[in-house]
C-alpha cells in the first residue's frame, strides 16, 4: 500500500495508568518535618489521562488507528537491561530494598507492582508501535507511553524511568527487521542519558539530543560527548540555553538535525517526545509553544518521508504541565496526521506565549554556532 494512503497510529493502553507516582505531603526541616495537603508527584498519572482524553475528544483518535500495547518479553528487555536488574525491580515491588548488587532505583522514581505492569507494557508498546510502522499497517505512530524511559540505564531506574523504551524499540527494529541505521531524536528537555549510554559505541544508531544545557542529569549531554570507538560522531548532543523558544529549536533542527539526518539516511526514525520544553513546564525553562512542537514534528515527518518512506515512531517521554502537555501532544499528533483542527492555544493572546514563539536570543545563536562548529568534525554542516 502506498505510504500516502496510510493513516497514523495512536498507541495507548489503560494498563499504563497502573503506574501511580503518588503524592508529596512532607516538608523536611533540620529538626524534623511537617505535613501539607497532598501535591501530585511531578510525573502525575493525570497528565497522561488528560492527554488521552484530549486526543479522543478532539476527534484526533477517530482519524487514527488505535493500537494497543503488550507486555515486553524478557528477551526484549535483556537486550539492554540486566537480569539482576529485572529481579531487583520485582523484589523491590514486593517490599525489597531500592538498591543492591543488582543496581538501584533512585529516590525520585516510584516503583510498585502497578508500576512494573505499566513499565512492561510501555516497553512492549514501543515495540508494537515499531511493528505497526515496519509492517506497513500505519504510516507513523504516536505512542502515549507511561512510564517514560530515556533516563533508565542498564541496571538503574532514574528520573521517573524504569525501562528504556527508546532503546528497546530501536533494538527490536534492528533485530526483527534487520535495520542497519536507526535515528533517535530526543527533544525532551532533560538529556537522554540512558539512550546515549546504550549506543555510545554503536554507529548503527544515531542519537541526537536537544536539551537544556547544564540541567539534568548532572554533566550528561555535554557537547563533547560524541561517542566511543566505532560510535564516535554518532552521538550528537545539542545543549541549548534556557529561553531558547520556538525559533531556537526550529533553527537547531534546520541547521543541525535535518542535515545530519539526510546524510545518515536512517531506515527508521524514533522520537523521544518529551513535551517538557514548553513555556509552562515546571521542571525546565525552555519556552516552547504548542506551535513550536507542531513545527518540529512537521520537520521530522518531512525527513522521514525523504529518507525512510515516512517510517516514524514518537514515544512519549516527559512533560509535567497538566494543563499544557495535552495541547502540545495534540499539536504533534496533528502534524503526524497532516491536519489542523483549529485548536486554540490554552493561553492564546498572552504576551508570554507570543514571546515564547518569537524570542531568539544571542545566547541561543551562539550555542547553535558552537554546536555546528563542533559537529562539523563528523558531519557536513
Is the domain covering 3-17+37-376 a CATH 3.40.800.20 domain? yes
Q: Would the pLDDT of 5 be above 90?
A: no
Q: How many other C-beta atoms can be found within 10 angstroms of the C-beta atom of residue 55?
A: 23
Mean of pLDDT values over 67-72 = 97
Mean of pLDDT values over 75-99 = 96
Q: Which residues contact 355 (CB under 8 A, 6 or more apart)?
A: 245, 287
Tens of pLDDT, residues 272-291: 999 999 999 999 999 999 99
pLDDT of residue 113: 86
Domain boundaries, the chain: 3-17+37-376
Mean of pLDDT values over 119-123 = 98
pLDDT interval class at 314 (50, 70, 90): very high
Our CA dihedral for 195, 198, 199, 205, rounded to 10 degrees, sits at -60
Which residues are known to be catalytic? 151
pLDDT of residue 2: 54
pLDDT interval class at 6 (50, 70, 90): confident
Q: Is 147 helix (H, G, I), strand (E, B) or coil?
A: coil
Residue 206 dihedral angles phi and psi, to the nearest 5°: -90, 115
Three-state SS across 156-214? EEECCECCCHHHHHHHHHHHHHCCCCEEEEECCCCCCHHHHHHCCCCCCEEEEEEEECC
> Rounded to an integer, what distance in angstroms lies between the CA atom of residue 172 and that of residue 77?
10
> Rounded to an integer, what distance in angstroms lies between the CA atom of residue 255 and that of residue 146?
32
Q: What is the pTM of this model?
A: 0.97
Let me know: does 169 contact 132? Beta carbons within 8 Å.
Answer: no
Give the HSE-up count for residue 322: Cα atoms under 13 Å, Cβ half-sphere: 10
Q: Would the pLDDT of 119 be above 80?
A: yes
Q: Would the pLDDT of 1 be above 60?
A: no
Q: How many other C-beta atoms can be found within 10 angstroms of the C-beta atom of residue 254?
A: 12
Q: Which residues contact 2 (CB under 8 A, 6 or more apart)?
A: none
Q: What would the DSSP string read from start to end of 272-304?
A: EE--TTBTT-TT----B-HHHHHHHHHHHHHHH
CA angle 337, 149, 228 (to 5 degrees): 105
pLDDT of residue 4: 60
Mean of pLDDT values over 72-89 = 97
CA angle 215, 216, 217 (to 5 degrees): 135
Residue with cell string 517490599: 95
Q: Which residues contact 95 (CB under 8 A, 6 or more apart)?
A: none
pLDDT, the chain, mean: 96
pLDDT interval class at 151 (50, 70, 90): very high
pLDDT interval class at 3 (50, 70, 90): low
pLDDT interval class at 149 (50, 70, 90): very high
Mean of pLDDT values over 110-127 = 95
Amino acid at each position: 500500500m502506498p505510504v500516502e494512503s496510510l493513516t497514523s497510529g495512536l498507541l495507548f493502553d489503560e494498563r499504563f495508568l497502573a503506574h501511580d507516582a503518588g503524592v508529596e505531603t512532607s516538608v523536611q526541616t533540620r529538626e524534623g518535618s511537617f505535613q501539607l495537603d497532598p501535591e501530585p508527584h511531578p510525573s502525575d498519572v493525570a497528565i497522561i489521562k488528560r492527554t488521552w482524553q484530549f486526543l479522543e475528544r478532539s476527534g484526533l483518535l477517530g482519524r487514527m488507528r488505535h493500537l494497543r500495547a503488550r507486555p515486553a518479553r524478557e528477551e526484549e528487555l535483556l537486550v539492554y537491561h540486566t537480569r539482576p536488574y529485572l529481579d531487583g525491580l520485582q523484589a523491590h515491588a514486593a517490599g525489597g530494598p531500592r538498591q543492591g548488587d543488582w543496581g538501584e532505583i533512585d529516590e525520585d522514581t516510584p516503583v510498585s507492582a502497578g508500576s512494573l505492569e505499566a513499565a512492561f507494557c510501555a516497553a512492549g508498546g514501543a515495540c508494537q508501535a515499531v511493528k505497526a510502522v515496519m509492517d506497513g499497517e500505519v504510516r507513523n505512530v504516536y505512542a502515549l507511553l507511561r512510564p517514560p524511559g530515556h533516563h533508565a540505564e542498564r541496571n538503574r531506574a532514574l528520573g521517573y524511568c524504569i525501562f528504556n523504551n527508546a532503546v528497546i524499540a530501536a533494538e527490536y527494529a534492528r533485530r526483527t527487521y534487520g535495520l542497519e541505521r536507526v535515528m533517535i531524536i530526543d527533544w525532551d528537555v532533560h538529556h537522554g542519558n540512558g539512550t546515549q549510554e546504550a549506543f555510545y559505541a554503536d554507529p548503527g544508531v544515531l542519537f541526537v539530543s536537544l536539551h537544556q544545557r547544564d540541567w539534568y542529569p548532572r554533566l550528561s549531554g555535554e557537547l563533547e560527548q560524541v561517542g566511543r570507538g566505532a560510535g564516535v560522531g554518532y552521538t550528537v548532543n545539542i545543549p541549548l540555553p534556557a529561553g531558547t523558544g520556538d525559533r531556537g529549536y526550529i533553527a537547531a533542527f534546520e541547521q543541525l538535525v535535518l542535515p545530519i539526518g539526510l546524510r545518515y539516511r536512517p531506515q527508521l526514525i524514533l522520537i523521544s517526545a518529551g513535551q517538557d520544553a514548553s513555556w509552562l513546564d515546571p521542571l525546565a525553562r525552555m519556552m516552547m509553544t504548542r506551535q513550536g512542537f507542531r513545527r518540529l514534528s512537521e520537520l521530522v515527518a518531512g525527513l522521514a518521508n525523504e529518507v525512510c518512506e515516512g517510517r516514524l515512531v514518537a514515544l512519549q517521554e516527559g512533560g509535567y504541565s497538566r494543563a499544557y502537555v495535552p495541547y502540545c501532544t495534540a499539536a504533534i499528533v496533528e502534524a503526524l496526521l497532516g491536519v489542523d483542527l483549529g485548536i486554540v492555544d490554552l493561553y492564546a493572546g498572552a504576551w508570554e506565549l507570543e514571546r515564547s514563539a518569537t524570542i531568539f536570543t544571542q545566547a541561543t545563536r551562539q550555542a547553535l554556532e558552537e554546536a555546528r562548529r563542533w559537529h562539523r568534525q563528523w558531519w557536513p554542516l
